[in-house]
Chain A
Amino acid sequence: AQSVTQLGSHVSVSEGALVLLRCNYSSSVPPYLFWYVQYPNQGLQLLLKYTSAATLVKGINGFEAEFKKSETSFHLTKPSAHMSDAAEYFCAVSEGGADGLTFGKGTHLIIQP
């Protein structure tokens, strides 16, 4: 069985500040890890994914995440927050094959002007 834990249901940062959204996973096999963003009244959009290649993954909109096996983590970061980054962020894990995704509970990112 696999699971995802996102620490912090709400994260608030100032515009221009570092964004750090935490994600820890558990998986019985090498995982595939994803970060999705959901804007209000819209579907989920893939930010980035880790599929056993480079441990530092760069995504869209300046986001990146680092896979750390020893810490079972896949935290999402962005050096400088923008007002348009305000949204709900979901971390997800898949064990491959024909599995669907197991999602974390999501983190609501608030950007303070």
Chain B
Amino acid sequence: GAVVSQHPSRVICKSGTSVKIECRSLDFQATTMFWYRQFPKQSLMLMATSNEGSKATYEQGVEKDKFLINHASLTLSTLTVTSAHPEDSSFYICSASLAGGTDTQYFGPGTRLTVL
């Protein structure tokens, strides 16, 4: 149980376009979902926290107008990278938990974004 999926697993796009990444909890309802970014050979950095039905909370330094997060249901959160640029190329990973923070976070397999 506690499976989290992400789609797509890889995406290549042209500079200036927007890309949407989906994160789904397959067998549980997630009250809180988190989005992380991982640069090559580096650690995961928390980008934002989203609760179903409310606006996401972004970490300092993360542009909320560039990284749009929607948590429309208890099993789906989406991250849209708007007007992507090469520096946005990274590995984006989502996680989901039943109760944010103290409970276990279940991680998706990640999405590799390459912006040309």
Contacts and interface: CB of A to CB of B under 8 A. Distances in A.
Nearest to A49: B104
Given A43-B4, A100-B34, A90 B101 contact: no
A73 interface: no
A91 B11 CA distance: 28
Contacts of B104: 34, 46, 49
A20 interface: no
Interface stretch (B14-22, B73-81, B82-90, B107-115): B107-115
A100 B36 contact: yes
A20 B62 CA distance: 35
A113 interface: no
Contacts of B93: 43-44
A13 interface: no
Nearest to B109: A43
Given A36-B107, A44-B93, A98-B51, A103 B43 contact: yes
Contact of A32 (B4, B44, B102, B110): B102
Contacts of B102: 32, 51, 94, 96-97
Interface residues of B, number: 25
Given A96-B102, A98-B51, A105 B110 contact: no
A63 B115 CA distance: 39
Nearest to A104: B43
A90 B51 contact: no
B25 interface: no
B98 interface: no
Given A43-B4, A43-B93, A43-B107, A98 B44 contact: no
A103 B46 CA distance: 9
A41 to B, nearest CB: 8
B60 to A, nearest CB: 10
Interface string A39-79: 00011111001010000000000000000000000000000
Interface of A: 32, 34, 36, 42-46, 49, 51, 90, 94-106
